Structure 1
Amino acid sequence: MQTTEAPVRGTTSRPTERALAPDLARGGMLLFIAMAHGTGTALSATPGLEPEPTGVEGPVNMFLLSFVHARSFPLFALMFGYGIVQLARRQERAGVDRRGARAILLRRSAALLALGALHGTLLLSGDILGAYGILGLVFTLTLLNRSDRVHRLAPWYLALAGAVIAAYAFFTLSAWGPGDSGVPFRADPAPKPETYGEFVGENVAHWPVQTLMFLSLIFMVWIGAWAARHRILENPAPHKRRLQTVAAGGLAVSVLGALPMSLLSAGLATTNKEAASWARMLYETTGTFGGLAYAAIFALLALRIGQRRGPVVNAVAALGQRSLSGYLFQSFAWLALTMPFAIDLAERSDSPLLVGLVCGIGVWLVTLTGAELLRRKRLRGPAEALLRRVTYGRARL
């Protein structure tokens, strides 16, 4: 078969061809991404927490650590791996051979890397698209077409992660004792850039470092690909019991793993610097299981909803289909709402944490509305359309 003559197909927007769970997961979890980025940019801290909480800020810190921070990106990495296999399978059904499908995936990954570089320098240094581009290139070249025997190894990463979590929990509890350590998070010691030029200059230096840090998500990408090979999200009914176990167990590990740091961040506990450092590593590592739990929860929701989709479900799924556009729009919003050379709402408030949280929710609602309007007009998101054109050129899709 000549690859150049084969029909190629991109991602589909037809409801009859799309599984609900992946779209629901992407659209719903963009809310948590918005909360994380909204608070992080407002406070210039990673994660976005109020270091000296008062009033409602303490419970908000706890909520963000337990359910949002370090729990959203693992879910999207899993969905990215799932999408790679879905796209490769769609090309195969269209008659494209493995070599041709791989070329398409490589072009798409290269386009994501280029888009990530622009996004990370012009809008948000914490960009993850560049890392997805690199991960897509690596996965497509090394793992995509390997046998089931190889892909069967992917879930064993969770056993390794579980062992690391157990060790971190042991060290945290062993070191726990009197002390006056503050909340263990990274705050930007430099003031926010006063001009857009300074902002871009800082991002040019920060983006490569951030991108390299995100490459550890390769294991979640691999688990997502393994799940796609078994069609777990597309056909959740046969996997219902497994999904229930992952949802309950993963969420328990995630919340309990974040508990020591949550207590510190809310001012409900104090400890020494050594224990606080271990608590942070415990919270970050257990985010992997939080991402898995959210994927399982959305799959179970999709199974329960079935074909009874109301307006809210349709809108969230529409945003999931246009998640790249929604993600990029968020970055425009943070630039406008939190930077000194723009509106800088956080500086005008006594609680940057709450301002960032409210902005996050508001921005997500705006993207939700926009996605629903595009759905009704049967239009793709602008970023999806651009990525599709770069990936497939002028081929009939």
Structure 2
Amino acid sequence: MEPTAQRIDTLDVLRGLAVLGILVMNIQFFAMPMAAYLNPSAYGSLDGINGLVWGVSHLLTDQKMMALFSMLFGAGIVLFCERADAAGRSVAKYYYRRNLWLLVFGLLHGYLLWSGDILFLYAVCACLLYPLRNKPVRTLIKLSVFFLAVSSALYLLTGLGLQSMSGEEIAAEIMPQWRPTAEQMGEELSAFQGGWVSQMSVRVPMTQEMQGLAMFMWGFWRAGGLMLLGMALFKTDIITGRAERVVYLRLMWLGLAVGMPLVIFGIFWNFNNDWQLTSMFIGSQFNYWGSVLVSLMWMAIIALLLNSHRMSALTSRLAATGRMAFTNYIMQTLICGFIFYGHGLGLIGQVERWGQLSIVFGVWALQLWYSPIWLRHYRFGPLEWLWRSLTYGQLQPLRRV
């Protein structure tokens, strides 16, 4: 395999893993009140198989797949700029046009379909991080740690600030997000069980919060820091699968020996504290940092498997799914929206965690099936083609000759 082809294939496979893995957590946002995504004790049973599903999902995917996706996006920033420069194009012109269109897609996705959108966040991060793309690897890593630490510190400081708030203020401003009352959850479920218009009464304020305060308190610093790390990993060929084998072995063991125990400790800490409000600000720190190491572990495992040619049966399907990551991400929204919201089957609040995971497996099978079939006939996924055409201001060739 040629080095350039290997680099792109590894990125595609990792992207395929990330876009499939992120659904394990995202489906909870569709299937239950939003608070259950942050606080699993807020809604639904955690007994038996449901508790096992939550625990394994949290350990292996919660924030890990978004971390991997963010690092890949950061690598993509450098790759896009390299390609544009090699083609003699104005890098800044097409880069900002590309990400401003992504921002538009994010607004439409968030306000019209699902408030858990990450496209808007990624577009904002990409626009602000562009001047840093040419920084040395060491500088990028330092900036990455700084960005990640800012978000962590903001959460800790907010938690400490609760001491100065009255019980009434906490009940009004914080608890609806963490442990809403049965009445508050009933209102949310009722809105999403209704038609598309009735859903907007809940979706719009949720999206405003996600793309507003939450983005600047947490999202920008977290995703931005991981994108900077992705740039560094791209420049060192770690994320492309071309680093020395010992590098991946070290990253794998770092995730296994430090990252996963940290996440597991956080699980026990939160349950021992009955998922009180401190879990939102202090208990979340274990997974916040542990997830970065676990995502690097995932990256290392995939690189080791690809380099040993032990994933041949699955590689092409994952790579195709990754090449259509934008289309597949939005397709997941459309499928889950139909299953759980009132304009479709309206099953929100009725599917337990084990059932949600069964749906995830079904979506995985579907996307691993149709992605390679589509790319056999077309050069890009439908939304990738649209995004590319808007970026370059003209329709791009779609059908393979």
TM-score, shorter chain, exceeding 0.5: yes
Q: CA separation of 1:135/1:103 partners in 2, compared to 1, >3 Å: closer, same or farther?
A: same
What pairs with 1:229-378 in structure 2 (closer than 5 Å)?
229-238=235-244, 240-263=245-268, 273=276, 276-277=279-280, 278-305=282-309, 310-349=312-351, 352-378=352-378
2:48 match: secondary structure: coil
The Cα shift of 1:123 comes to: 1.2
Q: CA separation of 1:395/1:89 partners in 2, compared to 1, >3 Å: closer, same or farther?
A: farther
Instruction: State the partner residue of 2:172.
Output: none
Q: CA separation of 1:368/1:236 partners in 2, compared to 1, >3 Å: closer, same or farther?
A: same
In the alignment, the residues of structure 1 paired with residue 119 and residue 275 of structure 2 have an alpha-carbon distance, to the nearest angstrom, of 37
The Cα shift of 1:281 comes to: 3.0
Q: CA separation of 1:105/1:243 partners in 2, compared to 1, >3 Å: closer, same or farther?
A: same
Instruction: State the partner residue of 2:188.
Output: 191
The Cα shift of 1:27 comes to: 0.6
1:92 aligns with 2:94: no
Instruction: State the partner residue of 2:14.
Output: 25
The Cα shift of 1:186 comes to: 5.6
Mapped contact 2:17–2:318 kept (Cα < 8 A): yes
The Cα shift of 1:315 comes to: 0.8
Instruction: State the partner residue of 1:174.
Output: none
The Cα shift of 1:110 comes to: 0.5
Instruction: State the partner residue of 2:128.
Output: 138
Mapped contact 2:6–2:241 kept (Cα < 8 A): no
In the alignment, the residues of structure 2 paired with residue 131 and residue 156 of structure 1 have an alpha-carbon distance, to the nearest angstrom, of 19
Which of 1 and 2 has higher RCO (CA within 8 Å, sep 6+)?
1
Instruction: State the partner residue of 2:73.
Output: 80
In the alignment, the residues of structure 2 paired with residue 333 and residue 276 of structure 1 have an alpha-carbon distance, to the nearest angstrom, of 32
Q: CA separation of 1:25/1:149 partners in 2, compared to 1, >3 Å: closer, same or farther?
A: closer
Q: Deviations over 1:27-68 (max 9, x none)?
A: 112222111111232122214846532221121121011111
Mapped contact 1:325–1:382 kept (Cα < 8 A): yes
Q: Which amino acid aligns with 1:29?
A: A
Instruction: State the partner residue of 1:176.
Output: none
Instruction: State the partner residue of 2:164.
Output: none
In the alignment, the residues of structure 1 paired with residue 275 and residue 239 of structure 2 have an alpha-carbon distance, to the nearest angstrom, of 43
The Cα shift of 1:18 comes to: 5.4
Q: CA separation of 1:207/1:185 partners in 2, compared to 1, >3 Å: closer, same or farther?
A: same
Is there any run of 5+ residues in structure 1 with no aligned partner, and where? 1-14, 172-183
Q: Deviations over 1:269-294 (max 9, x none)?
A: 56583764532332233222222222
In the alignment, the residues of structure 2 paired with residue 370 and residue 200 of structure 1 have an alpha-carbon distance, to the nearest angstrom, of 31
In the alignment, the residues of structure 2 paired with residue 122 and residue 386 of structure 1 have an alpha-carbon distance, to the nearest angstrom, of 19
What pairs with 1:159-178 in structure 2 (closer than 5 Å)?
none
Q: CA separation of 1:378/1:60 partners in 2, compared to 1, >3 Å: closer, same or farther?
A: same
Q: CA separation of 1:342/1:246 partners in 2, compared to 1, >3 Å: closer, same or farther?
A: same
1:85 match: secondary structure: helix
1:345 match: secondary structure: coil
In the alignment, the residues of structure 2 paired with residue 358 and residue 203 of structure 1 have an alpha-carbon distance, to the nearest angstrom, of 26
Is there any run of 5+ residues in structure 2 with no aligned partner, and where? 161-176
Greater share of helix residues, 1 or 2?
A: 2
Q: Which amino acid aligns with 1:129?
A: L
Paired residue total: 357
Mapped contact 1:322–1:371 kept (Cα < 8 A): yes
In the alignment, the residues of structure 2 paired with residue 116 and residue 159 of structure 1 have an alpha-carbon distance, to the nearest angstrom, of 23
Mapped contact 2:385–2:396 kept (Cα < 8 A): no
Q: Which amino acid aligns with 1:380?
A: F
In the alignment, the residues of structure 2 paired with residue 205 and residue 159 of structure 1 have an alpha-carbon distance, to the nearest angstrom, of 26
The Cα shift of 1:185 comes to: 5.4
In the alignment, the residues of structure 2 paired with residue 261 and residue 159 of structure 1 have an alpha-carbon distance, to the nearest angstrom, of 18
The Cα shift of 1:380 comes to: 1.2
The Cα shift of 1:377 comes to: 1.7
Q: CA separation of 1:123/1:271 partners in 2, compared to 1, >3 Å: closer, same or farther?
A: closer
The Cα shift of 1:230 comes to: 2.2
Instruction: State the partner residue of 2:92.
Output: 102
Mapped contact 1:20–1:302 kept (Cα < 8 A): no
The Cα shift of 1:309 comes to: 6.5
The Cα shift of 1:253 comes to: 3.1
Instruction: State the partner residue of 2:385.
Output: 385
Q: Which amino acid aligns with 2:207?
A: W
1:95 match: secondary structure: coil
**TM-score, normalised by the number of residues in structure 1:** 0.80
1:58 aligns with 2:63: no
Q: CA separation of 1:78/1:103 partners in 2, compared to 1, >3 Å: closer, same or farther?
A: same
Q: CA separation of 1:204/1:60 partners in 2, compared to 1, >3 Å: closer, same or farther?
A: same
Instruction: State the partner residue of 1:68.
Output: 61
In the alignment, the residues of structure 1 paired with residue 248 and residue 5 of structure 2 have an alpha-carbon distance, to the nearest angstrom, of 23
Q: Deviations over 1:147-170 (max 9, x none)?
A: 556435346549959x98xx99xx
Q: Deviations over 1:219-246 (max 9, x none)?
A: 10101111122232335243x2222212
Identity of counterpart residues, as a percentage? Answer: 22
The Cα shift of 1:202 comes to: 2.5
**TM-score, normalised by the number of residues in structure 2:** 0.79
Q: Deviations over 1:184-236 (max 9, x none)?
A: 95667333212211223432222232134221211101011111222323352
Mapped contact 1:196–1:341 kept (Cα < 8 A): yes
